[in-house]
A and B are shown apart, each in its own frame.
Chain A
Amino acid sequence: DAKTTQPNSMESNEEEPVHLPCNHSTISGTDYIHWYRQLPSQGPEYVIHGLTSNVNNRMASLAIAEDRKSSTLILHRATLRDAAVYYCILSPLQGAQKLVFGQGTRLTINP
């Protein structure tokens, strides 16, 4: 399984942008980059995914490096509700569909 590397923890202030980095230097050409998050005592929640181009949705933006060896999840205006563990996961287009969760980044939002 292709591996990702994320900082263990990050901290930000409410209403400020947050940039969560992820390195995936061994990504293959058909791997999608997914981001999920897990709020305290809840199941994981899909955030966003992309392949090559940057992606935006109502929750976040995903910026993917040109060589695809890294990506950044951007929360444009963090709220207290965004405090969670964020997971960056590679998932192949074909084949095994299991999600391989690493340790993720624990994001703390200060009021």
Chain B
Amino acid sequence: NAGVMQNPRHLVRRRGQEARLRCSPMKGHSHVYWYRQLPEEGLKFMVYLQKENIIDESGMPKERFSAEFPKEGPSILRIQQVVRGDSAAYFCASSISRGGLYEQYFGPGTRLTVT
């Protein structure tokens, strides 16, 4: 059973470009979460999605960031008009269900560098 897959693993973008980060959850998992880890800081929750629905986006910046989890295909985190402050590691996690009973499985992350 393959784990959570994220691609690309490393992404370099110039200021003003768009960044698209992809996450394929574990087989059978219908819940996806995105977290961001700024350099030398802890992980911060961004958004929680189920298929075709955003459940909790309380951690998403109000502008330039969006996320989706379509019926078919991976979850996408999109960052428009990137700035240097967006440079971070972005981790995706998936779980089989919601609630404290179920652990989240994390992917290896995408390291975004904005030049």
Contact = CB atoms under 8 A, between A and B. Distances in A.
Nearest to A31: B100
Contacts of B42: 101-104
B33 A93 contact: no
Nearest to B31: A97
Contact of B48 (A30, A98, A101, A103): A98
Contact of A93 (B45, B48, B100): B100
Interface stretch (A15-23, A37-45, A65-73): A37-45
A34 B103 contact: yes
Contact of A46 (B45, B99, B104, B109): B104
Nearest to A30: B100
Interface string B30-71: 010101000000111100100000011011000000000000
Contacts of A45: 106
Interface size class of A (residues with CB under 8 A): 20 to 34
A103 B98 CA distance: 24
B100 A49 contact: yes
A93 B55 CA distance: 16
Interface string A83-99: 00000000111101111
Nearest to B91: A43
11 contacts: A42-B108, A44-B106, A46-B103, A49-B103, A91-B100, A92-B100, A93-B100, A98-B48, A99-B33, A101-B44, A102-B42
Interface of A: 30-32, 34, 38, 42-46, 49, 51, 91-94, 96-104
Interface of B: 4, 31, 33, 35, 42-45, 48, 55-56, 58-59, 91, 93, 95, 98-101, 103-109
